[in-house]
Structure 1
């Protein structure tokens, strides 16, 4: 074999050219690594199985790891270098998938490959000279043993007409919580390839979010060199190359993940947990982990270790530059062509990004301590963010730099590469493998607090109406008008006189404006009269419809609360009389502003996002869809040119966000964080106690975050359906056998809809939060889910099926894996998404 057939890259990546006949083992004349190594002999094993990645029309990257059979599956490799064989064929060996049966058929490659201890006995081999749109089968042989059979499909030729592509994108597979049943479901799909959007591993062990229920087949992780996050106990994080290697090895021992790699080529990027949570460049951002001067702790050696382990264990067609002594010694952003149908652009949104616009190390003037996550990455005041981002960009410009240099997610070089790729793309669809969401996720704190205070007042006001009704001969309409006037600031005497005047006018058939005029004549202000008339009318109509007693008082309470209290708080904010009366003015005052929920994603790099959208819009680049992970939720919506413009700007592209395979949901994180914020926590979660015959009480934390963020107002039935997966999981945790779960869940949900706390209090709360109108560009939200996304792509449309999975049953993955499927459809030529 000559150098054209077998080339070395950094003594690790090897390359050979396939042919129609088997290739002989490499000789020593070309000096390639492994050419002078004897083939391994004796008993060997492949504890992490095999994998393929980066399918192109003429090439593939193939991977395995082999160790002697007596060796521990996840220990660091020791001993001497040796060599193994790789054989590849186009003969259909699908029946052998999942086994180490001998590969049958004529070979198109038979290659001798080095197995080097310095790379933990991993092998990365690029096979070129392949045929486009062709399915191949491969197998490695070490000594007396064969690996499991692997399969991959090459991409179509760049000029090929492609009728359809089908693939899955997935993300966030934490070993330490929940289950990996979703992988079983994915393995059964008919796919061309898999896109992995990062968080393939989690660098921490024993972190708070990793202490929930987990399937028994996932035992506890033990980092060989891990460092405690705080003090000398509790959670640890990966710190050395052996730590990161251990995580990849351990994760890849799961047979379900192995099955995915054996069956489909992966196109993978990383997110943050392949290095450290919410990473930027080589900086660690754990709360409390700052330098003495308060700056973020930079860890170039740790970053390089993370880079190396990812490079060794991910079958990606990239190179690691061993001569580069910086932490930016690897480039993983790259693109793929799938005929005339799709251009796939994969970006790296961690290695080059600038610090978060408001650094975690910024001092909170109220405490004199660093902000940490809250206020820097999460729940960031939008005006403050805009001001600081503008200052940073102006500072960069003042010293001759691109203004985005200090406010970038991609870095200047990668940003220009992205723009060039999008502009030059000739395929119908331009898909973007994007790590963190492009969708604006904002919250108007003024409206939210006004809504919560109004909700909290409903019961009190309704009780007052009930009391007043006793003195009006049971006339709840008049009682409601009286309480409305008093709530709006009138004296009791004036409110009573005005209520009688309003009732008299109403009895005579007068219109609402005439009733209001009577109220003003009796001493009310115009605003007081307006709410008194509105309350009188609503209660009178409810009484005419057959309601009575407490139900009428509740109608009055809701009308007064949302017709007067809410707008009064919205108008006067912290100076509202109702804020003062709540006794929580100091606690609430900081929330009377607009917030960005998550500035670790593109909301935290807003000006660069606008620059990218302007590039697409100016150059008429259409059919751009981002496939996103990271946030452990399903979202679908449009990415607009300027979310801060009137009406939220103009849609330019679409972002489809997939929930994590197993990681705890975005809702669960915010629920726990918000539980310490008193009334504010109601924006996220509402406790519901559900009595279940024979089981006692099942306690649920109902997800209100979706409605706060913009989900459409629910009905009682849709509200109940929303909690089906959580309820099913809670019943399973109570010991209900899986064979009975569906029936029991259905019965409990039917009873839940008849529960007044559910069908009145919770329903009203969800409807009011939905009415806040936050984030109208979000067309689908499910922030409490695990799962994956199945894409079917044709020239006319992109269909993305969000597959939500059921929760654990005891300590095992559910037999019924997929709980529900929600379909997002993007039609070619239109930057919009429809949901079904």
Structure 2
């Protein structure tokens, strides 16, 4: 450790060696200063620990312990008095204190650590202490004492020895716990799990207060937040963002007052990294990306001082054994990427995907040629044309190469140094499993806009085409099959007379026993083109089959419309794009024109840094590094899929590793964000959601937006039962919001779903829409997705397999977390030796 850091942090970063006598010894790491007795007097009188205790970074011989102590009369989240420095006591024992866990009962058992630690107002009375010399794979209990008062008893488990054969590890990974929306009930469920540790992937706090996405329903036990300083966010009448050290400290202190979060820290050691909201949304290096808050030229503001404040608050309040150098004047004065060994079973590599990342490939300041104004988020970070991004990325790589720089220097999430570190760690790992604490998803999440528009226009045509068939049937004596063939030929371009003659010829051939080929030939003989005849034959057959099954006239017309819409209209738009006559007929050419392309939905994640992703996958593939699984957060959704060597290759490339993405603890879902954004896009919004108005006796009308985003992104076509089940959690939440008591919620949900099952809007229109969107075939490597969820993921790891249980939680009941917390568990299994995931 260098002398500057010693002088700055010598009273704050402390370490001791566990011994039978509890005496401090020499040793420690380059991140710590060894301190035994501080020489400062122990504080006296009444004290408290408003943020309780925490442990982090469990290794085979060490742990980082944390607390914050203030006088009993002090406010729980106010700045600690600067003139009341002193010392508190720490006790650690291997004795069983499980009965006292989470209480302030006296810690029992002979201490292996008994030291006095400095309590300094300049660090807001937070304490960070590293204990070394511990036994591997062992459970310890600890407690702090300040004056007359004891903290709650905490517990941690050290990692197994590097050479140990480990039969099983069990842990939870979690992310995105916004104080200001929904509820933290998931934490109660996590606290009851039998875990070895917890991985936290970031967004532990949210830097904004009162932002648009934070104005929804929230549990009453989470009061409004008030930043000590705060800066008004541009473009918002209500939002402020953290800026000063006091602001960021306040958020950690307030978040950590929740007893449920305290319980997690008391029971399990955390292995934590940050994502963006610990500093600023969609951050890169020291730059913020709030629309409107830019430099005069539209480029992102660089806020080095704010970044340093965020770094220091995270360092002070997170129990992480990392290095921080306050004497370093740069904003990159902290290093949080690190790795952990858990016997022969697992190597866990934790990365930092914000502090070193390049600007987004297409910056928000890029000028939109259609408007002459900066793009902002859409077109740069979200809904980005894939071809445009690839071209810009290639230009940047070529430019860096020509300048003698590393090719990926300007298009990287990890940065050159950390990327090489990651590669070295993966290559050197000897454990069975290589897990990666990865903040943003590695999965390609794309959408073919041409296919999507073609599907929407076909769907929009169904009602009109069915009506046209019904009207024509009136002129054919009620012969819906003939009417359908006539309408099909006409829509495919035949004149009215030719359409009628061709359809009659097809019917005649069919009635005489002619097969489809003979029917088509008859139609061509009557003047139809081969394409017109083929469509008319298909429609005639579809209606005939429906009639034979007992379908009524309206259903027969619907069968004709389905065949015409998806057998011709959709295919015409797919083939001709914006030049299709059906696009022109829609009257929405201008609105639809920008969407005739392939898009990437979220370029703040690895899709926006495709070159570096390919380099990492090539490293794994060329070095035969297997059993690599990413544990991912950020996007507020559950995903499971393979990460391929080149998603742009034919078939999407070859699977190399697996990415398992967990939904947020409380943050609003990815679906909800896209639903709101898409609502202004007209028909395009149908790719995301479908409105349902459900009358419920005694309750009133329940308005829902059914999640179609899952199907657009690649979820398999549903059955009616699956469609109903998908709605269950959202419906339960909506009924609870209407005042339905939790005791009757499940019965009410069941009754409402029975009614929906019989509704044609649901069992026909919505079901067909979901099935058609699923048929788009986007993102075939994604094997599971649930974009409208909150929850966490429980991992059970053995030498033979990794089993991840996605635990989705129920929504608020009134202003409280639900008594029935876990709504649905979906299991994703990765078998050792295979880069694949099975969901079931």
Shorter-chain TM-score tier:
over 0.9
SS at match of 2:340: strand
Task: Provide the residue aligned with 2:23 in structure 1.
Answer: 23
- Correspondences of 1:539-550 after superposition (within 5 Å): 539-550=543-554
Question: Over residues 698-738 of structure 1, what are the superposed CA-to-partner deviations in whole Å (9 max), with x where a residue is unaligned?
Answer: 11100000000000000000000001000000010111110
4+ long deviations beyond 6 Å: none
The 1:374–1:142 alpha-carbon spacing in structure 2 relative to 1, beyond 3 Å, is same
After TM superposition, give the deviation of residue 548 of structure 1 in Å.
Answer: 1.9
CA distance in 2: counterparts of 1:254 and 1:31, whole angstroms: 32
Contact 1:396/1:405, CA 8 A, preserved across alignment: yes
Question: Over residues 314-338 of structure 1, what are the superposed CA-to-partner deviations in whole Å (9 max), with x where a residue is unaligned?
Answer: 0000021112100000000000000
Question: Over residues 12-59 of structure 1, what are the superposed CA-to-partner deviations in whole Å (9 max), with x where a residue is unaligned?
Answer: 210100001233799xxx995972311000000000000000000000
Task: Provide the residue aligned with 2:392 in structure 1.
Answer: 388
Task: Provide the residue aligned with 1:37 in structure 2.
Answer: 40
Q: Does 2:84 match 1:85?
A: no
From 487, 503, 510, give the equivalent of 1:506.
510
Question: Over residues 356-404 of structure 1, what are the superposed CA-to-partner deviations in whole Å (9 max), with x where a residue is unaligned?
Answer: 0000111111112111110000000000000000001111111100110
CA distance in 2: counterparts of 1:746 and 1:90, whole angstroms: 50
From 60, 76, 79, give the equivalent of 1:76.
79
Task: Provide the residue aligned with 1:738 in structure 2.
Answer: 742
- Tell me how large the CA RMSD over aligned residues is: 1.4
Q: Does 2:249 match 1:245?
A: yes
CA distance in 2: counterparts of 1:155 and 1:521, whole angstroms: 80
The 1:591–1:31 alpha-carbon spacing in structure 2 relative to 1, beyond 3 Å, is closer
Contact 2:637/2:662, CA 8 A, preserved across alignment: yes
Task: Provide the residue aligned with 1:724 in structure 2.
Answer: 728
Contact 2:11/2:118, CA 8 A, preserved across alignment: no
CA distance in 1: counterparts of 2:25 and 2:172, whole angstroms: 36
Q: Does 2:126 match 1:122?
A: yes
Q: Which stretch has the larger CA shift, 710-719 or 744-753? A: 744-753
Task: Provide the residue aligned with 1:796 in structure 2.
Answer: 800
From 193, 210, 214, give the equivalent of 2:214.
210
Q: Does 2:604 match 1:594?
A: no
Task: Provide the residue aligned with 1:59 in structure 2.
Answer: 62
SS at match of 1:354: coil
After TM superposition, give the deviation of residue 521 of structure 1 in Å.
Answer: 1.4
Question: Over residues 393-445 of structure 1, what are the superposed CA-to-partner deviations in whole Å (9 max), with x where a residue is unaligned?
Answer: 11111110011000001000000000000000000000000000000000000
After TM superposition, give the deviation of residue 232 of structure 1 in Å.
Answer: 8.3
- Correspondences of 1:627-646 after superposition (within 5 Å): 627-646=631-650
From 319, 341, 346, give the equivalent of 2:345.
341
Task: Provide the residue aligned with 2:30 in structure 1.
Answer: none
Q: Which stretch has the larger CA shift, 7-16 or 535-544? A: 7-16
Question: Over residues 756-795 of structure 1, what are the superposed CA-to-partner deviations in whole Å (9 max), with x where a residue is unaligned?
Answer: 0000000000000000000000000000000000000000
Q: Does 2:752 match 1:752?
A: no
SS at match of 1:690: strand
- Correspondences of 1:264-279 after superposition (within 5 Å): 264-279=268-283
- Correspondences of 1:421-820 after superposition (within 5 Å): 421-820=425-824
Question: Over residues 465-493 of structure 1, what are the superposed CA-to-partner deviations in whole Å (9 max), with x where a residue is unaligned?
Answer: 00000111111000000010111111111
CA distance in 1: counterparts of 2:9 and 2:524, whole angstroms: 87
CA distance in 2: counterparts of 1:368 and 1:548, whole angstroms: 55
Contact 2:211/2:236, CA 8 A, preserved across alignment: no
Contact 1:14/1:125, CA 8 A, preserved across alignment: yes
- Correspondences of 1:106-185 after superposition (within 5 Å): 106-185=110-189
CA distance in 2: counterparts of 1:806 and 1:232, whole angstroms: 30
CA distance in 1: counterparts of 2:236 and 2:568, whole angstroms: 54
Unaligned ranges ≥5, structure 2: 27-32
CA distance in 1: counterparts of 2:8 and 2:244, whole angstroms: 26
Task: Provide the residue aligned with 1:50 in structure 2.
Answer: 53
The 1:546–1:149 alpha-carbon spacing in structure 2 relative to 1, beyond 3 Å, is same
CA distance in 1: counterparts of 2:361 and 2:25, whole angstroms: 55
Task: Provide the residue aligned with 1:262 in structure 2.
Answer: 266
From 373, 397, 403, give the equivalent of 1:399.
403
CA distance in 1: counterparts of 2:415 and 2:348, whole angstroms: 19
CA distance in 2: counterparts of 1:583 and 1:208, whole angstroms: 33
CA distance in 2: counterparts of 1:154 and 1:53, whole angstroms: 10
CA distance in 2: counterparts of 1:776 and 1:542, whole angstroms: 32
The 1:38–1:612 alpha-carbon spacing in structure 2 relative to 1, beyond 3 Å, is same
CA distance in 2: counterparts of 1:468 and 1:581, whole angstroms: 21
TM-score normalised by the chain length of structure 2? 0.98
SS at match of 2:291: coil
Question: Over residues 72-110 of structure 1, what are the superposed CA-to-partner deviations in whole Å (9 max), with x where a residue is unaligned?
Answer: 000111132110000000111011112101101110000
CA distance in 2: counterparts of 1:260 and 1:65, whole angstroms: 16
TM-score normalised by the chain length of structure 1? 0.98
After TM superposition, give the deviation of residue 7 of structure 1 in Å.
Answer: 11
CA distance in 2: counterparts of 1:358 and 1:7, whole angstroms: 43
From 259, 280, 292, give the equivalent of 1:288.
292
Q: Which stretch has the larger CA shift, 807-816 or 485-494? A: 485-494
The 1:232–1:187 alpha-carbon spacing in structure 2 relative to 1, beyond 3 Å, is closer
After TM superposition, give the deviation of residue 9 of structure 1 in Å.
Answer: 4.8
Residue-pair matches, total: 829
CA distance in 2: counterparts of 1:512 and 1:624, whole angstroms: 52
CA distance in 2: counterparts of 1:34 and 1:283, whole angstroms: 42
Contact 2:16/2:36, CA 8 A, preserved across alignment: no
Question: Over residues 641-680 of structure 1, what are the superposed CA-to-partner deviations in whole Å (9 max), with x where a residue is unaligned?
Answer: 0000001000000000000000000000000000000000
CA distance in 1: counterparts of 2:400 and 2:715, whole angstroms: 39
Q: Which stretch has the larger CA shift, 479-488 or 363-372? A: 363-372
Question: Over residues 616-637 of structure 1, what are the superposed CA-to-partner deviations in whole Å (9 max), with x where a residue is unaligned?
Answer: 0000000000000000000000
Contact 2:16/2:24, CA 8 A, preserved across alignment: no
CA distance in 2: counterparts of 1:233 and 1:38, whole angstroms: 49
After TM superposition, give the deviation of residue 170 of structure 1 in Å.
Answer: 0.2
Task: Provide the residue aligned with 1:189 in structure 2.
Answer: 193
SS at match of 1:101: coil
CA distance in 2: counterparts of 1:186 and 1:446, whole angstroms: 43
Task: Provide the residue aligned with 2:13 in structure 1.
Answer: 13
SS at match of 2:824: strand
After TM superposition, give the deviation of residue 8 of structure 1 in Å.
Answer: 9.2
Contact 1:11/1:33, CA 8 A, preserved across alignment: no
CA distance in 2: counterparts of 1:157 and 1:523, whole angstroms: 82
After TM superposition, give the deviation of residue 11 of structure 1 in Å.
Answer: 3.4
CA distance in 1: counterparts of 2:530 and 2:655, whole angstroms: 42
The 1:611–1:374 alpha-carbon spacing in structure 2 relative to 1, beyond 3 Å, is same
Task: Provide the residue aligned with 1:827 in structure 2.
Answer: 831
Q: Which stretch has the larger CA shift, 506-515 or 348-357? A: 506-515
The 1:391–1:571 alpha-carbon spacing in structure 2 relative to 1, beyond 3 Å, is same
SS at match of 1:627: strand
